[in-house]
């Protein structure tokens, strides 16, 4: 074997290797020195995966009505299914979410859907048949006879559809009702995609759907059981009032409420006559009487509550009773002015309601908000009482409390149902605006509502109703006008 000959040395390779090693050592030393001088080094984060949602509302003035009462300029709301998943700045939410539908709300307010805490929705068909009367004459001479001659299930369906269209157009997303054939009203409400706390009337004399309180209670139990756990419908019992339902039947209603966990809706202390009559009959004022028979609970919703004392307000607060304040109806019937400032001081869950269109004569919550703020100023002589923000609160989150639904609706925050109204802010009567609550309460009209989303579903887009046929509704309603006129003989 010959002598071993080593391979020739590649000087270029060797020099490069030495240089590389030198650079590596230099980098290591530099990093060591840098770490000693700057011990905390920010490492760029890896972008998280973009989240998918169904709807993203961007660019609006978001009025949250949450516990912090946040107003977010250039704000956004992300919706997945029936739920709000995020509320914040547009810049933040557009980075985090991608949506199948993006709604540009620039120049608009994005607000919680309005909550009507008391109405009789089919009574839209009695709009204007008897005006400028007190409650007793209005009821006994006109409304009760008109109902006896006209109300049946078809009447209720036609009137409900008309009322639902009117409420959605005005940005109302939840309402509390009391009437007859309430199961049919629930059916129409569900079809329209609206949310309702719907109470079947229980009254002492024969009415359209049930001839006795026993019949009404049986109907009500079936009605509540049928709609239990529905995502939109909360079925309730609705004894008409302490002066039209006996003590024994009121106790039976409370027992049914306990058995089924259902709300109870009732008129209470609407007039001075009612207050005086209850006092004469039972020796107690209406709220005190209801408390004494064990009727009140944290599922009770009472309408009007005009003639109540400070002590009774304390009873309402203690029992977490919801109150539906109907300022325009109360004014029109000259029933009186509810002590709402005192209720607010006691933190009673008082919301706003329209009452039925036969005594209002519309279902426009914007008028109620404006009236509630102004009525109590002139009645008390104090311009600071019931501020614009408080009035708007009664139409949203406090109204949700009144219906015992504050965990689901009433504010824009993650985890709540996506019940939202998008409202134009650039009409002549809103220009210019400096404070969002002032603009919403004192300037905004129902016609300014552009888009409405209920339970994550768009039911009105750019003022076009998507779940109701307005032309057919108006045709059906006008057909009943002629029938009602003939039935009353005048």
Three-class secondary structure assignment of 84-143: EEEEEEHHHHHHHEEEEEEEECCCEEEEECEEEEEECHHHHHHCCCCCCCCHHHHHHHHH
Per the listing, tokens 């940005």 go with 171
Contact indicator for 21, 67 with CB cutoff of 8 Å: no
| 5 burial type by CB count under 10 A (0-12 exposed, 13-18 middle, 19+ buried) | exposed
pLDDT of residue 49: 79
Hey, which residues does 178 pair with through a beta bridge? 199
pLDDT (tens digit per residue) in 440-477: 999 999 999 999 999 999 999 999 999 999 999 999 99
What fold, for 114-404? Answer: TIM Barrel (3.20.20)
pLDDT of residue 76: 98
pLDDT of residue 24: 40
Domain ranges of the chain: 114-404
Listed as ranges, residues in the chain with pLDDT below 50 are 1-47
Q: Which two tokens stand for residue 199?
A: 């109470």
Say how far apart CA 185 and CA 164 lie, in whole Å.
10
Say how far apart CA 456 and CA 17 lie, in whole Å.
65
Residue among 211, 209, 146 at smallest CA distance from 180: 209
pLDDT of residue 65: 98
Whole-model pTM: value is 0.89
pLDDT of residue 48: 60
């Amino acid at each position: 074997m010959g002598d071993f000959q080593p391979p020739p040395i590649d000087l270029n390779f060797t020099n490069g290797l030495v240089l590389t090693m030198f650079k590596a050592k230099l980098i290591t030393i530099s990093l060591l020195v840098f770490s000693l001088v700057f011990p905390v080094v920010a490492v760029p984060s890896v972008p998280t995966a973009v989240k998918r949602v169904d709807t993203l509302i961007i660019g609006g003035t978001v009025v949250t009505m949450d516990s912090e009462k946040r107003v977010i300029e250039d704000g956004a709301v992300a919706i997945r299914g029936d739920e709000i998943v995020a509320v914040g700045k547009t810049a933040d939410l557009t980075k985090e979410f991608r949506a199948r539908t993006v709604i540009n709300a620039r120049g608009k307010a994005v607000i919680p859907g309005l909550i009507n805490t008391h109405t009789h929705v089919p009574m839209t068909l009695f709009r204007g048949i008897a005006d400028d009367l007190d409650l007793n004459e209005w009821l006994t001479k006109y409304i009760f006879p008109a109902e006896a001659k006209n109300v049946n299930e078809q009447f209720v369906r036609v009137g409900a559809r008309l009322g639902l269209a009117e409420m959605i157009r005005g940005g109302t997303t939840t309402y509390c009702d009391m009437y007859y054939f309430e199961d049919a009203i629930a059916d129409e409400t569900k079809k329209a995609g609206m949310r309702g706390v719907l109470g079947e009337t229980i009254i002492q004399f024969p009415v359209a759907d049930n001839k006795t309180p026993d019949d009404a209670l049986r109907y009500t139990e079936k009605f509540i059981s049928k709609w239990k756990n529905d995502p939109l419908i909360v079925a309730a019992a609705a004894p008409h009032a302490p002066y039209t339902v006996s003590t024994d039947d009121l106790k039976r209603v409370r027992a049914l409420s306990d058995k089924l966990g259902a709300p109870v809706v009732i008129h209470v202390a609407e007039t001075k006559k009612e207050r005086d009559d209850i006092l004469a009959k039972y020796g107690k004022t209406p709220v005190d009487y209801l408390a004494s028979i064990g009727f009140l609970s944290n599922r009770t919703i009472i309408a009007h509550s005009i003639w109540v004392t400070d002590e009774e307000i304390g009873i309402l607060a203690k029992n977490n009773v919801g109150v539906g304040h109907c300022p325009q109806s109360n004014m029109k019937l000259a029933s009186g002015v509810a002590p709402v400032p005192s209720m607010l001081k006691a933190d009673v869950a008082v919301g706003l309601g329209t009452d039925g269109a036969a005594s209002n004569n519309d279902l426009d919550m914007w008028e109620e908000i404006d009236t509630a703020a102004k009525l109590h100023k002139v009645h008390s002589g104090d311009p600071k009482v019931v501020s614009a923000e408080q009035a708007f609160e009664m139409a949203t989150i406090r109204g949700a409390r009144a219906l015992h639904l504050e965990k689901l609706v009433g504010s824009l925050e993650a985890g709540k149902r996506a019940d939202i109204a998008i409202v134009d802010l650039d009409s002549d009567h809103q220009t210019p605006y400096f404070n969002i609550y002032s603009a919403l309460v004192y300037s905004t009209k129902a016609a300014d509502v552009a888009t409405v989303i209920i339970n994550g579903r768009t039911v009105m887009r750019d003022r076009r109703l998507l779940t109701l046929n307005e032309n057919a509704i108006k045709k059906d309603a006008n057909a009943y006008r002629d029938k009602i006129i003939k039935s009353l003989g005048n």
